Structure 1
Amino acid sequence: MLPVGKEAGVSTNEYAGGSRELAEQLGCTAKKYRSKGVKYSLPPENGDSWLIDVQPEPGWCVTDAYFSLQKPVTRGYEIAQPGLWLCSLAAGDMTIIEQGKKSRQLGRGIHLLVNRGKPFKIQFGSPSKLCYTSAWLFADFIADYFQERGRGERLTIEDALTWPEHYYNTPEILMAFEQLKYTIRISIAPFMYYESKMIEILSLILCGVQNQGYAEMFTRLRRPSHLTYENIKLLWRAKEELDNNILAPPDVAQLARLAGMGTTKLRQSFKAYYNMTVAEYIRREKMSYALRLLSNDEMSVQNISTLLGYQSPSKFTVAFKRVHGFTPRAARKTFNI
């Protein structure tokens, strides 16, 4: 195997090289992976750690990453071509640092970075395992798709600057990324599959852009006027506590103490701001976590239902279907499990 970046004449920028330059910084070695991918393996002291890229042509790339680090690594990016980076983070510590903006420590979920040629950094933490699936979609790839079809629909990099989080951090897009993750790991699907999956993700975002109220099914867009900014900051703190302990969430009384509110005020404020009750939010987030677990065949449906605190697989199935619209077993079939 050759050390990454030693092949003569190979570009190392993300537009033409995907994760190659990051892999070089991590000390990886590279080899062709099955019929479609390139696997970058971290040094042995990092344990079972790797990144897999599928990039049929410059302009877009999909990556699945599963690695741990001995110490944090900060990667600097300065990409000339405008584009979007969408990342589905399942586990680990990642922080995005952009000039003139507050650093973003990423939590579990779907995240968006809009690149317009300005330098930025991503910090990869340690020692916990990092697990994410991501896609670089550059402006020319997106423009070519819409131009070739000429249907009057459009989506640009500039448009993405206006997208609120609930346009791209949805259960539907999480499902698409989970399907993408296991296809990358197998790396035998035709390139057309990966391209169509990217278009599927963009189309789900466009659905929220074009249809007022669609994205609001997942969270509330507008801040209720009767909640002060101080109220909202306290709600953010309560939600963060739920996100950090979603498998064993604090009860409403504990959240109310954390937010400095009475339980009735917390319930009313949470429902007004997030357009769902505390219980509904916990169920939705548990079911998003369940979807990730179902995409891996190491746990049975019964094991997953127990982990999530359900008394029986049947009750778990009812809750899962209420959120996603299909059963856990149907979800597994989409992952070929």
Structure 2
Amino acid sequence: MGTNEYYSGNRELAVQLGCSVKKYRTKGIKYILPPENGDSWLIDVHPAPGLFVTDAYFSLHQPVTRIYEIEQPGLWLFSLSTGDVTIMEQGKKSRRLQRGIHLLVNQGKPCKVIFGSSETICYTSTWIFADFLADYLKERGRGEELRVEDALTWLSHFYNTPEVLMAFEQLKYTIRISIAPFMYYESKIIEILSLILCGVQNQGYSEMFIAPKRPKHLTYQNIKLLWRVKEELDKDILSPPNVEQLARIAGMGTTKLRQAFKVYYKLTIADYVRQEKMNYALRLLSNDEMSVQNISTFLGYASPSKFTVAFKRVHGFTPRDARKTFNI
């Protein structure tokens, strides 16, 4: 029979969570979990046929399993701030999501998502269905093409970038305020896809020049080990393993690991850790419960000024500038 996300977004998940429903301000629908779950909700906005954007913040007393059987092909882009979420796809290993941006490519096969109860789940996501993409590109008539199946080749570092994260954070607070016109949401989703495509296309171009240089050549086995190294770093970016520990995971010497990591990710390990710390800081700044000084201390900086310098080096603007974009 299938599930109906194409037409109703998170309505069926909301029923499964026992939510009540109310129209949310001038745009969107807010699903409110039962009172015993505390301040818990999901907000859906449906700006165009084939497009949903969602912001969710909820706690559960026990895990909830949702099986998605969506007929229409589409992309689910998912920016996870906190929470225990596991995705299980046919023919693939289950993956418990770390904090960051994730992608699910739907081609009509069932997919299971387990929402855990160990911590509050907070995420912003978008369902982008194939007909929305086709209609958007057809209307502009510029010969550009993007198909759902193209996303099967995207690696995580194409969409886990500071620019894409910033776009999702802006989207999150716009959904919560829920007063922007529908074209804002369409434009923001197209911006996110465009940022991803910039990485995909530029990465492919640069690899044409890197691959033939044998001293810097990476085998597929090397690359798989580098993915494992990155996963270990992402588990706790505030207290990452040292280079010696990472080298043991990769089965390389420390010098080889440093060189291979920089060739593949275009960053040193230290720069990657610094970048991801500042991405984490960006998420903290989008919430007004912590001051800049609190955040700098939490991240281990000796003073707010040192934190500001590090943040600006990565993002190109100061923490206070970031807060202005969130109207904080």
**In the alignment, is the contact (CA less than 8 A) between 1:62 and 1:135 conserved in 2?**
yes
Question: What is the 5 A alignment of 1:183-222?
Answer: 183-212=174-203
1:166 aligned to 157, 162, 167, which one?
157
Looking at structure 1, the residues matched to 55 and 183 of structure 2 have their Cα atoms a distance apart, in angstroms, of 18
Looking at structure 1, the residues matched to 280 and 243 of structure 2 have their Cα atoms a distance apart, in angstroms, of 21
Counterpart residue number, 1:242: 233
Question: What is the 5 A alignment of 1:33-48?
Answer: 33-48=24-39
Question: What is the 5 A alignment of 1:15-164?
Answer: 15-164=6-155
Which amino acid letter does the alignment assign opposite residue 116 of structure 1? Answer: Q
**In the alignment, is the contact (CA less than 8 A) between 1:166 and 1:215 conserved in 2?**
no
Greater alpha carbon shift after TM alignment, 135-144 vs 309-318: 309-318
Counterpart residue number, 2:282: 291
Greater alpha carbon shift after TM alignment, 179-188 vs 236-245: 236-245
1:56 aligned counterpart, secondary structure? strand
Which amino acid letter does the alignment assign opposite residue 302 of structure 1? Answer: Q
**In the alignment, is the contact (CA less than 8 A) between 2:48 and 2:182 conserved in 1?**
no
Looking at structure 2, the residues matched to 209 and 235 of structure 1 have their Cα atoms a distance apart, in angstroms, of 19
Counterpart residue number, 2:5: 14
Looking at structure 2, the residues matched to 261 and 205 of structure 1 have their Cα atoms a distance apart, in angstroms, of 31
**In the alignment, is the contact (CA less than 8 A) between 1:247 and 1:307 conserved in 2?**
no
Greater alpha carbon shift after TM alignment, 201-210 vs 65-74: 201-210
- TM-score relative to the length of structure 1: 0.87
1:310 aligned counterpart, secondary structure? coil
Greater alpha carbon shift after TM alignment, 187-196 vs 262-271: 262-271
**In the alignment, is the contact (CA less than 8 A) between 2:44 and 2:54 conserved in 1?**
yes
**In the alignment, is the contact (CA less than 8 A) between 2:73 and 2:108 conserved in 1?**
yes
Residues matched between the structures, number: 322
Looking at structure 1, the residues matched to 44 and 200 of structure 2 have their Cα atoms a distance apart, in angstroms, of 29
RMSD: 2.5
- TM-score relative to the length of structure 2: 0.90
1:159 aligned counterpart, secondary structure? helix
Which amino acid letter does the alignment assign opposite residue 303 of structure 2? Answer: S
What whole-Å deviation, never above 9, does each CA across 1:168-195 have from its counterpart, x for those lacking one? Answer: 2211111000000011111111111111
**CA distance change for structure 1 residues 251 and 208 in 2, over 3 Å: closer, same or farther?**
closer
**CA distance change for structure 1 residues 98 and 255 in 2, over 3 Å: closer, same or farther?**
closer
Which amino acid letter does the alignment assign opposite residue 88 of structure 2? Answer: I
What percentage of aligned pairs have identical amino acids? 77
Which amino acid letter does the alignment assign opposite residue 138 of structure 1? Answer: F
Looking at structure 2, the residues matched to 99 and 228 of structure 1 have their Cα atoms a distance apart, in angstroms, of 23
Which amino acid letter does the alignment assign opposite residue 96 of structure 1? Answer: I
Counterpart residue number, 1:3: none
Deviation at 1:232, TM superposition (A): 5.4
2:139 aligned counterpart, secondary structure? helix
Gaps of 5+ in 2: none
Gaps of 5+ in 1: 1-10
Looking at structure 2, the residues matched to 117 and 18 of structure 1 have their Cα atoms a distance apart, in angstroms, of 16
**In the alignment, is the contact (CA less than 8 A) between 1:155 and 1:206 conserved in 2?**
no
1:161 aligned counterpart, secondary structure? helix
Counterpart residue number, 1:275: 266
Which amino acid letter does the alignment assign opposite residue 246 of structure 1? Answer: I
Looking at structure 1, the residues matched to 3 and 48 of structure 2 have their Cα atoms a distance apart, in angstroms, of 14
2:117 aligned counterpart, secondary structure? coil
